[in-house]
Amino acid sequence: MIITCPSCQKKFELDDNLLPEDGRTLQCGSCNYKWFFKKKDEIKVFEKLLESNENEKIDNNETNTGNQSNILKNQTNDKIDETRKHKSKNLSILNFFNYLIVLIISFIALIIFLDTFKNNLSEIFPNLELFLYNLFETIKDLQLFFNDLFK
């Protein structure tokens, strides 16, 4: 089920099983607006959309009504697709930063691991101590750079 926030008009996809018949309080994930939502309210909105589509059509016979419901379903599916595309764009940017953070943390964990076992690993990698020293110096330089940048 697609639910629209009354405040910011953002659309959310919600599982029908999560909404009891009596309704429940919802909170918008975008603007934090809270409202009480009933399934009957959504049905009323759907009926209003159906009525507005019926008013646009001149011929109201049974085949036309079937066509109108198909048109309404197509419009609803198009809106759902647009919402998913919009979410995927936001998620792709967010995912990029999430992956970047994980990459940085993993790199730091690797450095700590190498530093912890440098005596044992120096037999396999003879220049490991020099490599770690250069990495630490680079991290210190980056820290000084960001300190100067944000002062």
Q: What's residue 12's pLDDT?
A: 78
Q: What's residue 148's pLDDT?
A: 93
Q: What's residue 71's pLDDT?
A: 67
Q: What's residue 145's pLDDT?
A: 94
Q: What's residue 26's pLDDT?
A: 82
Name the stretches of the chain with pLDDT < 50.
58-64
User: Hey, what are 81's tokens?
Assistant: 């697709």
